[in-house]
Structure 1
Amino acid sequence: MQHLEEKIAHLTRTVDDLSMVVAKQQDEIDRLTRHVAMLMQREAERAQEGSGGVILGDERPPHY
């Protein structure tokens, strides 16, 4: 009986630890989702203004 109680206690602690990890991951996902939304909005505003984007290394500058 004591062996089962020890196993249950161990499993309960494991479930609690995993629950905490999942909660932290969800917080991080929420934070990253907000950042992506902010960046998407910023890029949409930049595209509407026509201010252009970043020049990549393999693109010629506009004065060529």
Structure 2
Amino acid sequence: MTDVTHIEEQIAHLTKTVEELSDIVARQENELAVATRRLAMLMEREAGREMDAGGSVPLADQRPPHW
């Protein structure tokens, strides 16, 4: 096998790997966006529950005691 053929095979393999990783990153970006929206909805829902229960300031908006 010539050096050029070997290099072409390596380039093809690396190109395939980069495309696969790009697909994985794009999928993870979508999953992270969905998870972020869901977390925001849950935090808003919990803050509403705390306010309905008579709390003055939602705990999500308070600093932890160690700050």
Structure 2: which amino acid aligns with 1:31? V
TM-score by length of 1: 0.76
> Which aligned pairs between 1:1-64 and structure 2 lie closer than 5 A?
1-50=4-53
Q: Distance in 2 between matches of 1:13 and 1:33?
A: 30
- Unpaired runs of at least 5, structure 2: 55-67
Structure 2: which amino acid aligns with 1:16? E
- Where 1:12 maps in the other structure, the secondary structure is helix
Runs of 4+ in 1 over 2 A off after TM superposition: none
TM-score by length of 2: 0.73
How far residue 33 of structure 1 moved from its aligned partner, in angstroms, is: 0.4
Aligned residues: 51
Structure 1: which amino acid aligns with 2:9? E
RMSD over aligned Cα, in angstroms? 1.1
Query: Percent identity between the aligned chains?
Result: 51
Match of 2:60 in 1: none
Match of 2:65 in 1: none
Structure 2: which amino acid aligns with 1:17? E
Structure 1: which amino acid aligns with 2:23? M
**Greater helix proportion:** 2
